Amino acid sequence: MTAVATWKDQLTGKIREDWGREIDIFETQIELRKKGKIEEKLFAETRLRRGCYGQRYDNGQRHDGEKTQQLFAPGALTKGPNTYFDAPGMVRIKIPFGRMTPEQLDVLCELAEETSDQILHVTTRQDIQLHFVHIEDTPDLMRRLAAVGITTREACGNAVRNVTACPLAGVCHTESFDVTPYANAIMFFLLGHDDTLDFGRKFKVAFSGCGDQPCGLTNFHDMGAIAKTRVVNGEVKRGFEYYVGGGLGAVPYPAALFDDFVSEEELLPLTQAVCRVFGRLGEKENRSRARIKFLVKKLGIDEFRRIVLEERAKLRPDPRWTAFLASLRETDGVPLQPGAPLAAGPRPAGFEAWYRTNVQKQRQEGYAVATITLPLGDLTPLQGRALADIARRYSADSMRTTVSQNLMFRWIPEADLPGFFAELAAVGLARGGADKITDITSCPGTDTCKLGISSSRGLSGELRRRLSLVEDKLAPAAQDLHIKCSGCFNSCGQHHVADLGFLGVSRNVNNRRVAHFQLVVGGELARNGGTYGLAIGAIPSRRVPDFVEHITNTFVAGKQAEETFLQWVTRIGKKEVRKMVDQFTPVPSYEEDPSFYSDWGDPREYTIGDMGEGECAGEVVNSVQFGLAASEREVFEAQLLLEEGKVGDAGKRAYSAMLQAARALARQKNPNLSEEPKEIEHEFRAHFFDTKLFFDPYEGGKFAHFFFKAHEDGGKAPDQQSAHQLIEEAQLFVDAAHQCYTRISGVMP
Amino acid sequence: MEAQKLQVKIYAQNPPAPDQLVPVFHRWIRERVLDEQAMDVADYEHVHHGPGVVLIGYAFDYYWDLGEGRPGLVYARKRDAPPPATRIVDAVRRALVGCKVLEQEATLSGLTFRTDELLVRLPDRLHAPVTELGYSAFHAELRPLAEELFAGEKITIERVGGERDMLGARIKAASAGSVADLLARVS
């Protein structure tokens, strides 16, 4: 069989010179690492900045349901601290603002077939991820992507991540103008920019065409820009409402308004100045406080703005700041066919239902946008190639990934929709329900993520399966609900802005681990993710589908007129929601129903031992469980106080919950411990913090610091936002206390 | 053969529901049923005609594959391929071993595999270009293997997939013995 020697040879002349050189360097670094000539930490950061991320079990430890197996020989080569070189990993591929050409999708499909497990996964930030990829396959993978204009550079690591934008940009009815060229400009301006190299953590940028819709989700980004126009001297000027310091993660922060109108000429230089300030002043040592949101919070938005503007004045002028403005139309979609209305006549079976949920009319007459609903964000290479062909036939270059883990096709003449639908149906992609209750967003969770606590994909798959059976019979208000699931508190599934958000936690029941999900309600997807919900209570994973059915039915039966789910929850109060949760919290004994002790889609007995090493000491003391239960109750009470507008009391109660949890643990070491806060803090610090017993395997002492800060402030919460945050932190501290208790009591980790 | 990566699919008869494969593959890891390092199980049942349930290994994967709407077992060689001369036969043998073990699974009663048809694909476009020339070379390597495997039966080998799909061929025999019979011929 004849073949060329290497992809590098075959793609000569097709790759940007600088990108090609970067990939060559990376390939060399892999070889050097194999020879032990690059230190593992340096190599880890190097590969992360190339988009090569770790995956669950890459530390060589996997619990098989009965015992932990060692997957690689101890002492074998590593590609980072505690990360084996030969362990399969994930490759994250940046798709700026989600736009993909058919040619790019074809290559992605080839790579999924040749280097991965035959699946392309769309993420909640419009990236594509391939899983189970060997590090040695990545240089050629990168070359093949580079040859079609895609880079993985800075898809991971402490860098500017993929720039996201509303997938309707350019065709939307509510936008001020098309943000696509601005997102494109900032993406490539910041890629590898000197002022982005000193970050202590990642930096995420999002664009939205308007302030009301959810598509851009700018409220929870490190930097968010919302298109806006202003008339200056009789001339319409383009600019942006400019936000900084938003973020989800363990403790979500709403973005702060930096400037209500940044002109298009100032967008890039101002962002450069923001990056420079973040690089200079952002936290470096404490990873859990290193996002820009903490810097903005620490300085205050006014001081942060002053420093940034001072820095802006010092920047050396760069022609790239405005060069892109001369070619704003270059990113415009170009339709293949003239627009035409949908004609009457016979249509394929299922078309009408699909049309109702998955088609939107464009601003441009006669054209439509169609959403391809991808189950859990997954598609096969065969489906991908079919979609590339469909794009070529119907909509030219206008596919976009969405933050709901779907695909959008734009510029389809409405008259062509029946044919378009029929072609989707032929490859199993004509499912309706886009952005409805069955279109569930999920992070990878325990399937592949090292930090996953519970199986968010397993739960999402089960919810999707069950809800699909009844979706046609659901009331419209129920169909409109949004469900989002995260496998842990890091919020990659964006559970804070769902109607029903779930985040994975674990609980110790009957001396065994049981997968749970915290219910989060009160979030709002509209207004770019305008309001964050709060956790109400933890439900055993196996009971979540029944709970969803129950709360959905209760909502439909009890809502008033046009009341939304958020309005309904606000009206009935979290106490009522908690009562519903409480009906589903009992866990049968292992002997009665062992299924509760494994997670969805995984028959192994549930464990979080795969996350890292547990620390075992001491013995099980039931009074600890009692104290922890009390602390959970207090967190909930704090929420109720906040709901009643008693901001100060809510903060104090949240702090009290932390004291309860800390005391419950500390009493194990000092049975004479009083209820004096100072003494509790001292004993907790001495026995659990200084000894690192309380440390989370990945987050270290982060959650203990929440307690120390609350103690220092005496639980003071001067405003609604502070109280909200304190409650979030209290919940996380209590959850961490549960984990700690499980470790020290010797329960299977 | 230059291709480093290859896949062999053997089609199932009386296939179980895909989710029944999940605990089976987990058990294979736990009990180290295979002579290669298996690591994880990935469940893609929700994807139309997708990879189904995957037993992820370091150098190989087994797929309870739902492709073409025809469930079957795929053995996929990803790394550390044997020498070129034995590469395909090794993958065929490992696919058959997987079938044999699955046929013996108590929880999958009734499952058998049809042995008169194999799908062999090469997900390695660098070393197995999707061209007439590429297929011609592939066919030349498949033919003697097919003749040995089906021991005198009339066989056909046809190309599958278009120019953007990975290079593939379908081998069909007029009749064939059991999985064990075929396994004996390639072991």
Give yes or no for residue B71 having a pLDDT over 90.
Answer: yes
Q: Is A114's Cβ below 8 Å from some Cβ in B?
A: yes
In this prediction, residue A619 carries a pLDDT of 26
Domain tally for chain B?
Answer: 1
pLDDT of residue B176: 84
Of A2, A62, A119, the CB nearest to B51: A119
Amino acid at B20: Q
**Which residues does chain B have within 8 Å of residue A65's beta carbon, measured at their own beta carbons?**
26, 30
Q: How far is CA B4 from CA A204, B77, B122, in A?
A: 38, 8, 8
Q: Which of residues 465-524 of A touch B (CB under 8 A)?
A: 465
- For residues A262 and A240, the answer to whether their CB atoms sit within 8 Å is yes
Tokens 């973005």, residue? A255
Residue of B22, B124, B164 with shortest CB distance to A106: B164
Closest Cβ–Cβ partner in A110, A378, A604 for B26: A604
A461: contact with B, CB 8 A cutoff: yes
SS (H, E, C) chain B: CCCCCEEEEEEEECCCCHHHHHHHHHHHHHCCCCCCCEEEEEEECCCCCCCEEEEEECCEEEEEECHHHCCEEEEEECCCCCCHHHHHHHHHHHHHHHHHHHHCCHHHCCCEEEEEEEEEEECCCCCCCCCHHHHHHHHHHHHHHHHHHHCCCCEEEEEECCCCCCEEEEEEECCCCCHHHHHHHHC
Identify whether B111 is part of a domain.
Answer: yes
- Which sign does the torsion angle of CA A729, A644, A573, A656 carry? positive
Size of interface A-B (CB pairs under 8 A): 125
| Residue B130 maps to a domain | yes
**Which of A109-113, A643-647, B79-83, B85-89 is the most confident on average?**
A109-113
CB contact under 8 A, A429 and B23: no
- Note whether A119 contacts B48, CB cutoff 8 Å: no
Cβ atoms of residues A147 and B125 within 8 Å: no
Whether residue B164 lies inside any domain: the answer is: yes
What's the token pair of residue A558? 């009890």
Q: Is residue B103 part of a domain?
A: yes
Q: Which of B5, B23, B164 sits opposite A385 (nearest CB)?
A: B164
First to last CA, chain A: 52
Tell me which of B21, B24, B44 to substitute to probe the interface with A (most A C-beta atoms closer than 10 Å): B44
Nearest CA of chain B to the CA of A191: how many Å? Answer: 30
Q: Is residue B1 part of a domain?
A: no
Q: Do B56 and A88 touch (CB under 8 A)?
A: yes
Q: Does B56 map to a domain? A: yes
Please give the Cα distance from B178 to B100 (Å, whole number).
9
Domain span at residue B137? Answer: 6-186
Burial of A678 (0-12, 13-18, 19+ CB in 10 A): exposed
How many CB atoms lie under 10 A from the CB of residue A530? 18
Q: Retrieve residue A569's tokens.
A: 């929850």
| Whether residue B100 has pLDDT greater than 50 | yes
Q: Is A428 helix (H, G, I), strand (E, B) or coil?
A: coil
Evaluated on CA atoms A45, A51, A52, A55, the torsion sign reads positive
User: What are phi and psi for residue B38, nearest 5 degrees?
Assistant: -95, 150
Residue B25 lies in a domain: yes
Q: Can you tell me the distance from the alpha carbon of A599 to that of A595, in angstroms, rounded to the nearest whole number? A: 8
A118–B50 C-beta distance less than 8 A: yes
Is A119–B1 a contact, with Cβ atoms under 8 angstroms apart?
Answer: no
| Separation in Å, CA of A61 to nearest CA in chain B | 10
pLDDT at A333: 84
Angle at A195 between CA A190 and CA A196, to 5 degrees: 60
CB contact under 8 A, A132 and B42: yes
Q: Do B26 and A602 touch (CB under 8 A)?
A: yes
Of the partner residues B2, B43, B46, the one whose CB lies closest to the CB of residue A3: B2
A 66-105 → B contacts, CB under 8 A: 66, 69, 71, 86-88
Q: State percent of chain B over pLDDT 70.
A: 99
Contacts of A635 (CB under 8 A, 6+ apart): A535, A653, A654, A657, A727, A730, A731, A734
Whole-prediction pTM: 0.90
Dist CA A6 CA A137 (whole Å): 12
Identify all chain B residues contacting A57, using CB atoms and an 8 Å cutoff.
39-40
Predicted local distance difference test score (pLDDT) of residue A636? 84
User: How many CA atoms lie less than 13 Å away from B165 in the CB half-sphere?
Assistant: 14
Facing A1 at nearest CB: one of B40, B47, B137: B137
Pick the closest to residue A490 from A699, A727, A279 (CA basis): A699
Ranges in chain A, pLDDT < 70: 1-4, 397, 611-623, 626, 746-749
Residues of A within 8 A of B127 (CB-CB) are 1, 3
Q: What is the pLDDT of residue A617?
A: 24
Residue type, B9: K
pLDDT of A747 reads 55
**For position A746, what pLDDT does the model report?**
65
Nearest in space to A274 (alpha carbons), one of A249, A253, A298, A295: A295
Reported ipTM: the value is 0.98
- pLDDT for A629 equals 74
Q: Would B126 be classed as within a structural domain?
A: yes
